[in-house]
Amino acid sequence: MNVVVVESPAKAKTINKYLGQDYTVLASYGHVRDLPAKDGSVRPDEDFAMSWETDAKSKKRIDDIAKALKSADKLILATDPDREGEAISWHVLEILKRKGALKDKAIERVAFNAVTRSAILDALDNPRVIDDDLVEAYLARRALDYLVGFTLSPVLWRKLPGARSAGRVQSVALRLVCDREMEIEAFRPQEYWTLEAQMRNGAGDTFTARLSAIDGKKVDKLAIGNETDARRIEAAITSAPFRVDSVQSKPVRRNPQPPFITSTLQQEASRKLGLSSARTMQLAQRLYEGVDLDGDTVGLITYMRTDGVQMAEEAIASCRSVIGSRFGDRYVPDAPRRYTTKARNAQEAHEAIRPTDLTRHPDEIADRIDRDLARLYELVWKRTVASQMASAETERTTIEMSATGNDGVRYGLRAVGSVLRFDGFLALYQEGRDDDDDSDESKRLPAVKEGEAVDLTKLDVSQHFTEPPPRYTEASLIKKMEELGIGRPSTYTAILTVLRDRGYVQLDKKRLVPEDKGRLVTAFLESFFKRYVEFDFTANLEEQLDRISAGDADWKAVLRDFWNDFIATVDGISDLRVSEVLEALNELLGPHIFPATEDGKDPRQCPNCETGRLSLKTGRYGAFIGCSNYPDCRYTRQIAGPGDNEDQSAVSPDGKLLGNDPETGLPVSLRDGRFGPYVQLGGEDNGEKPKRASVPKGVSPETVDLDYALKLLSLPREVGLHPETGKPIAAGIGRYGPFVNHERTYANLDSVDEVFTVGLNRAVTLLAEKAAKTKGGSAAVIRELGDHPGEGGPIQLMNGRYGPYVKHGRINATLPKGTSPDEITLAEAVDLLDKKKQSGSGGRGGKTKGRQKKSAKA
């Protein structure tokens, strides 16, 4: 008997089908232990010794593995083929060693890039040992992130109340978003004019040209800065006799992009499918681990966390065969295309993301899996096949024309166009863009000859203004981080999630907008920890981590070099007063928090008392702007200047009309109520309560239009009938977020958007997993917080049916709304339990006490 350990139950289920009765496949459910969220988990003074903690759920899973090993001959660690997967195998092995569960058992580590029968059996035939270099790279990264977070965050809490946390990579990503916002705010539009001419040749064919030169000098975009100059040129050339100076045509070959890596998959899924990076990775995980195709669980794509662009030889051969059969031999290049990875560490440069079976066309499975899964699979399939197709061939033509205007100045016009001679890979796939392509490349030009006279038939003179750089989308931020070498494939989604969860950024029309607290944190770090939010420094540290995993650097030496400088910087600001910190932020954020006034007065002069000076202040609920004459002057306002972002999230109680419901004809309005913004169908004229739906948390009211409001009002929606019970499964949004439910079982969805798209297969799977987790009705322990300082006994953070709570003995206390379970401390838990105990409603103990009193009275 052999015991195989993988991360997820879905992966275990798929692999179980491929292996015989001699194998037992068990899931660890991800990492089985982690650093406790308290000081001392990483100890630099003890050569970076690390204390690990196994939560209650993981203990049970390890116990199950140990129990299975009693009758087994071999332990096979088959976690994912990357640094995190290696770390999970290492953790499992370390715990089992301490439990004495291994004894004389053989231990093997296997890794496969695809969950298919051939890949798994091949991996089992080629076992190896755990890669210590990859484990050490994981330990170094985990220690660095812990040390930065648990050293820097308390500094933030003391010096900048209201700030929640800082992180080694998340803070640099936040700086990118904030820097872009400052660019936008500092931007001043610049006027410019363009002249576009409609030309006609002798055969009567027309084409478009633009002013390209004046008196032999090139005309750039901003060369004509006002209407006077534009009209002068217009008058000079309207009747000028233009002739063709030159006609140049040259062939241009356009090559396909390589197959997907993690970052490019996230970017394209955002551009083409409108998926967030988190949703993309969740779908890709399911495609990798296996989906149900007519009762057979099949892994559809290779491993989705990779920075390698190369493909296996058999995949390339299969790809070329598919191209030949579907498009013809001309679309198959003479030689296979070879792509090289940008990854600096060959050990982590796995195969690109591709279909496990390229003959499995997207159309064959489109109606057999959830819609989003099908769409993402199609994207991967097309990108993969296109990467091995022939180049597209175009002919690019440039026509140069000139004439002497009536002012005696020589003016040049240029027309550019191209003709697609062979579509090549474009027959299947074209990469998406973050911006609109308004170039002339797709325009076809008529035949003209050098020296030929051409007529200017119409001249369009247009005014334009330069535009600020766009805010980052998730896709463009990931692209920028990748360019700078910040983070790695497995971290991008987590970074973006943390920034949103901490309230540092918000999504507005798919653009990342920094919140005031995010800008304050960035300004603080740039003022006092500048080195640690520099792009080059963070990228260099990532390179050192890569060198560790390649076996070229000692992980503890890297930690020592970082820690010695970092702790010295922290100690250096320990004596700074909060007032000094705030004044530094006043200067750095001045243009944002103290915008210039229309009357030219000092923007920091208090508008109330007119003698005080405005400054950043801190309070229990974060930072705000206040007067220096407090308490005599009590003027305060939010950080954003008057008129800026003022009550942007609020909506008038009378409502904003979004339109009329096409089915009922009733008006649909957006309103603001006691519990926040909501949408309403109809009015209240007939005395009946109209249908209403709350705007989900995290959705800006400004983005709610009629279509989205109607979607909200249609909830809950029926997903379908459960295949076992025949009863309906519904999807909706409740107090604790988006969900699916069947009878009395509720399962959370990953995002609000999934409420409107979740399919029957996905819903059934989620409900089954939820039922398995909550079997018996017992609440799960999230983590142990420590012993009660006064009464003794453990205090536990629990996850119950109605959300997270803390427990001590028979007393339970629900976490306040908005409190993250990840951040609750022992002291805060004790305070919550004491308050609950004093109220007499602390759980079973409180209820029993009430029953005893009632019985005595009777």
**Average pLDDT for residues 67-85, to the nearest whole number?**
92
Angle, alpha carbons 34-37-41 (nearest 5°): 70
Fold of 262-386: Topoisomerase I; domain 4 (1.10.290)
- Strand bridging mode 49-50 / 42-43: antiparallel
Report the helix count and the strand count for the chain, using DSSP H and E. Answer: 23, 32
CB contact set of 579 (below 8 Å; sequence gap of 6+): none
Same fold flag, 140-184+475-578 and 262-386: no
Tokens of 719: 């997903």
Question: Hey, is 204 helix, strand or coil?
Answer: coil
- Gyration radius from the chain CA atoms: 32
State whether residue 475 is helix, strand or coil: helix
| pLDDT score of 685 more than 80 | no
Give the span between the Cα atoms of 85 and 821, in whole angstroms. 25
Find out whether 360 and 386 touch, Cβ atoms under 8 Å. no
| Domain 2-130 architecture | 3-Layer(aba) Sandwich (3.40)
The better pLDDT of the pair 243, 295 is held by 243
The residue assigned the tokens 């949103």 is 500
pTM: 0.70
From the list 303, 472, 504, 805, the catalytic residue is 303
pLDDT of residue 473: 92
CA distances to 562, 711, 716 from 763, in Å = 46, 19, 14
CB 97 within 8 A of CB 103: no
User: Which residues lie below 8 Å from residue 530, measured CB to CB, with a gap of 6+?
Assistant: none
pLDDT one-digit tens code per residue, 168-216: 888 999 999 999 999 998 899 999 999 999 999 989 999 999 999 999 9
Using a pLDDT cut of 90, give the percent of the chain over it. 42
Three-class DSSP category at 248: strand
Whether residue 647 has pLDDT greater than 60: no
In this predicted model, what pLDDT tens digit does every residue of 30-56 receive, in sequence order?
A: 889 999 878 789 999 999 999 999 988
The hierarchical CATH code for the domain 191-250+394-465 is: 2.70.20.10
The model's pLDDT over 696-731, given as tens digits with 9 standing for 90+, comes to 877 777 678 888 889 899 899 899 888 888 889 999
Distance from C-alpha of 53 to C-alpha of 86, rounded to nearest angstrom: 18
Beta strands in 547-621 (DSSP E): 614-619
What is the per-residue pLDDT for 845?
41
Q: With contact defined as beta carbons under 8 Å apart, do 358 and 286 qualify?
A: no
Bridge partners, residue 322, by sequence:
none
* pLDDT given for residue 249 in this prediction: 92
pLDDT above 70 (res 29): yes
Q: Is the CATH number 1.10.460.10 carried by domain 140-184+475-578?
A: yes
List the domain boundaries for the chain. 2-130, 140-184+475-578, 191-250+394-465, 262-386, 596-639, 656-775, 779-857
Q: How many residues does the chain have?
A: 858
CA distance readout (Å), 64 to 95, 118, 318, 839:
13, 28, 41, 41
Active-site residue, 746 included: no
pLDDT value, residue 779:
62
